[in-house]
Amino acid sequence: MAAGDEESIYERVARLEDEVATLRNEVDILKGTMRNKIIRYEHKLIKKGKDVKSIID
């Protein structure tokens, strides 16, 4: 690796911050998906007449 090709610490930190932001976005999407699945499951139980205490909120 030539001296000009080396990444500065600031560039590495900026790149890692971008990756963390991307991962946080993906986690938020997964959390929303799981929340929706739980809500659908709770609604299904309620329709069957089961007493359900929501685990959401």
Please write the tens of the pLDDT for every residue from 22-54: 999 999 999 999 999 999 998 998 899 888 887
- Name the CA dihedral angle for 47, 48, 50, 52, rounded to a multiple of 10 degrees: -40
- Does pTM top 0.85 for this prediction? no
**Whole-number Å distance between alpha carbons of 37 and 48:** 17
> Within a domain: residue 1?
no
Q: Is the pLDDT of residue 2 over 90?
A: no
What is the domain range of residue 19? 8-47
Tell me the two tokens of residue 5. 């090709």
- The model's confidence at residue 55, banded by pLDDT at 50, 70 and 90, is confident
Tokens of 56: 């959401």
**Residue 43 included in any domain:** yes
Q: Is residue 20 situated within a structural domain?
A: yes
